[in-house]
Amino acid sequence: MNAILKTEHLNLWYGQNHALKDINLEMPQNQVTALIGPSGCGKSTFLKTLDRMNDLVPSVRIEGKVMYRDQNIFDPQVDVTWLRRHVGMVFQKPNPFPMSIYDNIAYGPRTHGIRGKKQLDEIVEKSLQGAAIWDEVKDRLKKSALSLSGGQQQRICIARAMAVEPDVLLMDEATSALDPISTSKIEDLIAELKKTYTIVIVTHNMQQATRVSDRCAFFLHGELVEADDTEKLFSVPKDKRTEDYITGRFG
């Protein structure tokens, strides 16, 4: 098993609040790792730590390591823009920029210095196809991305993240704001994407976790209770608390 992302004794505090407690987790290449657990247990916090989006929070303090391909991302010489280019994020609420669909997708590549029209056209088409939304928007690339439905917007955001060709895609409850049809489209997409990317998702939906993930990690009160192959975790959980959670006895 080749872990492309790995945390070692990761601890995180928001002020006095110890939100992540000694987390050791490996996220293997070309697999989908799902993070589950009750509200407030630290799933989003953990995910944001992986591409250092927590840097935006003023009171945050982090100890331990996050290894991305043998590089500790907290090393002072690591450039966060470099990291975020390789570890992309799709947010819970679709957040396309108020620009055209085309400009949304081209935003990342332009940020990283790609200017040629032809090259951008290719990237935009490829990314939109990769996110399974090309056919729906190919005739209105110049229209505002805000004119799309929520499900379409989320796939635009996935395409936008893919356009910078990251290694890893982080998705924080990427389908929780969507209807069942859009959700299943995105779930199919995730299954497709893991051929190219390593994926980490947060989900509140057990069925979704079993449908899309290869590995599953159960968080509780900032602790990682158990992490295992999804099938094993859901059939023979080792920890009583995991069992209680997945059988719906609390949470």
Partner 1 sequence: MEHLSWNRRIYDRGLRALLYLCAGITVALLVFMIGYVFYRGLGGITWEFLTTQRSLIKGTDGILPNILNTLYIIFLSMIIVLPLGVGAAIYLTEYATNHKLLSIIEFATETLTGIPSIIFGLVGMLFFQQIMGLKYGILGGGLTLVIMILPTIVRTTQESLKTVPQSYREGALGLGAGKWRMVRTVVLPNAVDGIVTGCILAVGRIVGESAALLFTAGMGGVLHNFADALTTSSGTLSVALYVAVNERGDVQTALAIAAVLMVITLLINLLAMVAGSRLKNK
The interface region with Mg ion, picked from 25-33, 36-44, 149-157, 219-227 by CB under 5 A, is 36-44
- Residue 97 within binding range of partner 1, rule CB under 8 A: yes
Of 185, 179, 190, 238, the closest CA to residue 212 belongs to 190
Given candidates 12, 101, 161, 189, which one binds partner 1 under the rule CB under 8 A?
A: 161
- Residue 45 within binding range of Mg ion, rule CB under 5 A: no
- Residue 108 within binding range of partner 1, rule CB under 8 A: yes
199 strand-pairing partners? 32, 169
How far apart CA 94 and CA 96 sit, in angstroms, is 6
187 binds, among partner 1, Mg ion, ligand ATP, none (CB under 5 to 8 A by kind): none
How far apart CA 216 and CA 209 sit, in angstroms, is 7
Mark 33-52 with x for binding to partner 1 (rule: CB under 8 A) and - for no binding.
------------------x-
How far apart CA 151 and CA 131 sit, in angstroms, is 11
User: Could you tell me the smallest distance in angstroms from the CB atom of residue 39 to ligand ATP?
Assistant: 3
The residue count for binding partner 1 (CB under 8 A) is: 25
The interface region with partner 1, picked from 38-46, 84-92, 127-135, 224-232 by CB under 8 A, is 84-92
Of 173, 172, 145, 144, the closest CA to residue 159 belongs to 145
- Residue 44 within binding range of Mg ion, rule CB under 5 A: yes
The answer to whether the CB of 100 falls within 8 A of the CB of 144 is yes
Question: Where does residue 233 fall: left (phi above 0), alpha (psi -120 to 50 degrees), or beta otherwise?
Answer: alpha
Residues 222-251 that bind partner 1 (CB under 8 A): none
